[in-house]
Amino acid sequence: MEKLVTQFLEYLVYQRNYSHYTITNYQKDLLIYQIYLKKEDLDYLKIEYTDLRFYLMYLKEEKKEKNSSICRNLSALRTFYNYLMANSLIDNNPFNYISGPKKEKRLPRYFEYNELEQLFQAPDIHTPYGQRDSLILEMLYATGVRVGELVNIKLKDMNEEERTILILGKGNKERIVHYGEYAKDILEIYLKDGYPKINKNNLEYLFINNKGTKLTERGIRDILNRIIKKTTLHKKISPHMLRHTFATHLLNEGCDILSVQKLLGHESIDATQIYTHVTTDHLKEVYFHSFPRAKINHSKELNKENTNLK
């Protein structure tokens, strides 16, 4: 099974264009599964539905996995068994008949507008790496791309006149993303000044590290961690948090959810629906603080609650 797992993960990287983050998690999930099979003396090619029921119990009760982790584990194995079917090693996929536990609802974390301003002011754009770091922030926020998509942007993918970038997303699906004036301005500075200085090996990629090679996903995360330490913000930061911010701010400003879905590169609208919970709360807050009669009633309710607490 180990050899097939290696081939499967390579298939996801080179043919399906899965991110490094997803591959790492799938690798962990498959290892958990292999350990369980060995423990129970089960043949992975002869797994049945009843076996999977006990596997779910193992994940929940022995491994103490969260519902979201269990669902991801099952998704990894479902994908793996689809790969086995495609290679005629099994006749059907038993994981198609089992569903994971209901996921815990966790709203996406995002930055407010004033917090973003602090982030954008942190890099020193008078230095080559400061220009690069500033562009990373602007591009993540302006386009909503995934970190794996960002590090793979090449100069040939960019149309500076139209301010668009051709992105190769999950499953090797292409989409066009747009960027605005702020990203355009720092891009021009970076390409004229910083980029020629740090691109020692004349690579075709837009983002280069201090060794002169392509910047990695881990490198982007390290850069973001350094940037937030220069601010007064007490939040953890990740590339995906800027993607969440992109989607949330679009919806807050009136963009329709189908357009946001396309811009994010989501296959299903379900993946985009989570942002409506965030924006609904935002609109509720705006309503109670802006609409005169709602504002009065809301104040009365708050005073009543405070009186009850005394």
- Examine the residue annotation and report whether 275 is marked as an active-site residue of this protein: yes
- State the pLDDT at residue 310: 45
Q: Binning pLDDT at 50, 70 and 90, where does residue 6 land? A: very high
- Examine the residue annotation and report whether 170 is marked as an active-site residue of this protein: yes
- State the pLDDT at residue 288: 63
Indicate the SS3 state at residue 175.
strand
Q: List the catalytic residue out of 16, 66, 78, 170.
A: 170
Dist CA 72 CA 18 (whole Å): 14
Q: Give tens-digit pLDDT for 16-32.
A: 888 888 899 999 999 99
- State the pLDDT at residue 302: 45
Residue 243 C-alpha from the chain's centroid: 7
Domains of the chain: 2-97 (1.10.150.130), 113-270 (1.10.443.10)
Least confident among 84-98, 99-113, 222-236: 99-113
- Examine the residue annotation and report whether 218 is marked as an active-site residue of this protein: no
Tell me which of 17 and 182 has the higher pLDDT.
Answer: 182
In the sheet with 158-159, reading across from the earlier edge strand, the strands are 158-159, 164-168, 174-178
Q: Which two tokens mark 298?
A: 């809301």
Dist CA 29 CA 26 (whole Å): 5
Q: Give tens-digit pLDDT for 247-274.
A: 888 888 888 888 888 888 888 787 787 7
Residues with Cβ within 8 Å of 148's Cβ and at least 6 positions away in sequence, in order, are 19, 20, 21, 217
Q: List the catalytic residue out of 60, 240, 282, 298.
A: 240
- State the pLDDT at residue 290: 59
Q: Which residues pair with 159 in a beta bridge?
A: 164
Q: List the catalytic residue out of 20, 28, 154, 266.
A: 266
- State the pLDDT at residue 298: 47
Tell me which of 165 and 271 has the higher pLDDT.
Answer: 165
Residues with Cβ within 8 Å of 164's Cβ and at least 6 positions away in sequence, in order, are 158, 176, 177, 178, 179
- State the pLDDT at residue 281: 59
Q: Give the residue among 25, 31, 24 at the shortest CA–CA distance from 5.
A: 31
Q: Which two tokens mark 127?
A: 């230095």
Q: Is pLDDT above 80 for 286?
A: no
Q: Give tens-digit pLDDT for 137-155.
A: 999 999 999 999 999 999 9
- For residues 164-178, give the mean pLDDT: 89
- Examine the residue annotation and report whether 78 is marked as an active-site residue of this protein: no
Q: Which two tokens mark 146?
A: 């995934």
- Examine the residue annotation and report whether 178 is marked as an active-site residue of this protein: no
**Cβ atoms < 10 Å from Cβ of 239:** 23
Residues with Cβ within 8 Å of 73's Cβ and at least 6 positions away in sequence, in order, are 29, 32, 33, 59, 65, 100
- For residues 281-297, give the mean pLDDT: 58
Dihedral sign, Cα of residue 42, residue 46, residue 52, residue 54: negative
Q: List the catalytic residue out of 72, 132, 146, 244.
A: 146
Dist CA 186 CA 224 (whole Å): 17
- Classify burial at 37, counting beta carbons within 10 Å of its beta carbon; exposed 0-12, middle 13-18, buried 19 or more: middle
Q: Which two tokens mark 125?
A: 């754009």
Q: With beta carbons less than 8 A apart as the criterion, state whether 138 and 179 touch.
A: yes
Q: List the catalytic residue out of 18, 83, 179, 275.
A: 275
Least confident among 86-90, 168-172, 230-234: 168-172
Tell me which of 300 and 77 has the higher pLDDT.
Answer: 77
**Cβ atoms < 10 Å from Cβ of 25:** 17
